[in-house]
């Protein structure tokens, strides 16, 4: 198979790491640009890169303007002039407050990282994506951001930030369609990552009655990342603008 070049944010842990691992193992012809806020601390990612030889790790703090501005120079250093697929995975989730109790800085942090930063990174990557014909963009969203499948638990800023991201996905799917892009949102499921486990504890403290439901649908990072990666690779033009679950089923906005 011919290889693709992937740009994956937040690739040093959790779902992002598993997506990176899947694409790296899938074909030696694939090239993965894996970003991490601090590559020096990304031990597992560096080990995988050394083993497989098709992963380039670059520093990127998606909420830092200077770091985002440096994407061009970082890609030049590793000889990447075209990107097939952008996977916007990096995010934060630490807003376990009611709407009335959530502090302003928590709202702003979640909007900055989860809603705005993936778009600002895309603004830098657009010209690289245009150099390839694949032109796929996958925003890792969350079922929490669904307005029609609302989960009644205090998660305020995180839920709003993902709903806002979903809006941008829909808008981008129309704006970029003439250029042949396929833009989707994907909920990775309820995943037992470090962030997910922390979130589970917070949610169940506020809503203990949903413990059985949460536990019954929780999956491993490998299950989530592998399924998300396969889903992205198999996207067709008619999928543009859709919101998917990690298992390939369509999810309601």
The predicted-structure confidence for 136-171, as pLDDT tens digits, reads as follows 999 999 999 999 988 777 889 999 999 999 999 999
Question: Residue 197's domain spans which residues?
Answer: 5-245
* pLDDT, mean of residues 94-109: 94
Q: Is residue 252 part of a domain?
A: no
Active site residue 127: no
Which listed residue (21, 31, 136, 162) is catalytic? Answer: 162
Active site residue 162: yes
Which residue is associated with the tokens 């597992």?
Answer: 44
Give the per-residue pLDDT at 95.
87
Give the per-residue pLDDT at 191.
72
Q: Is residue 45 part of a domain?
A: yes
Does the predicted TM-score (pTM) go above 0.85?
Answer: yes
Give the per-residue pLDDT at 153.
79
Which listed residue (22, 158, 251, 253) is catalytic? Answer: 158
Q: Is residue 125 part of a domain?
A: yes
- Could you report the per-residue pLDDT of 13-34, keeping only the tens digit for each? 999 999 999 999 999 999 999 9
Give the CATH number for residue 91: 3.40.50.720
Q: Is residue 251 part of a domain?
A: no
* pLDDT, mean of residues 28-42: 97
Of 50, 89, 58, 110, the closest CA to residue 188 belongs to 89
Give the per-residue pLDDT at 150.
83
> Which helix (H) or strand (E) covers residue 6, if one does?
strand 5-8
Question: Residue 222: exposed, middle, or buried by beta-carbon count in 10 A (0-12, 13-18, 19+)?
Answer: middle
Q: How confident is the model at residue 68 (pLDDT cuts 50, 70, 90)?
A: very high
The total number of structural domains in the chain stands at 1
């Amino acid at each position: 198979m011919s290889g693709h070049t992937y740009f994956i944010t937040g690739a040093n842990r959790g779902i992002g790491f598993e997506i990176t691992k899947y694409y790296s193992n899938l074909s030696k012809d694939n090239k993965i640009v894996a970003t991490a806020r601090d590559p020096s601390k990304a031990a597992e990612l560096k080990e995988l890169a050394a083993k497989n030889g098709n992963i380039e790790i670059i520093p990127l703090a998606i909420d830092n303007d200077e770091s985002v501005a440096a994407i061009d120079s970082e890609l030049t250093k590793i000889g990447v002039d075209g990107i097939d697929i952008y996977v916007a995975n990096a995010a934060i989730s630490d807003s376990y407050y009611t709407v009335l109790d959530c502090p302003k800085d928590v709202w702003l942090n979640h909007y900055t990282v989860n809603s705005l930063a993936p778009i600002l990174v895309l603004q830098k990557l657009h010209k690289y994506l245009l150099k390839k014909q694949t032109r796929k963009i996958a925003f890792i969203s969350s079922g929490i951001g669904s307005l029609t499948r609302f989960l009644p638990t205090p998660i305020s800023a995180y839920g709003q930030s993902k709903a806002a991201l979903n809006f941008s996905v829909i808008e981008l799917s129309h704006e970029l369609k003439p250029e042949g892009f396929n833009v989707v949102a994907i909920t990775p499921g309820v995943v037992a990552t470090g962030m997910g486990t922390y979130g589970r504890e917070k949610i169940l403290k506020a809503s203990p009655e949903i413990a059985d439901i949460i536990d019954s649908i929780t999956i491993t990072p490998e299950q989530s990342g592998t399924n998300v990666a396969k889903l992205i690779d198999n996207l067709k033009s008619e999928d543009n603008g859709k919101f998917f679950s990690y298992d390939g089923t369509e999810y309601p906005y």
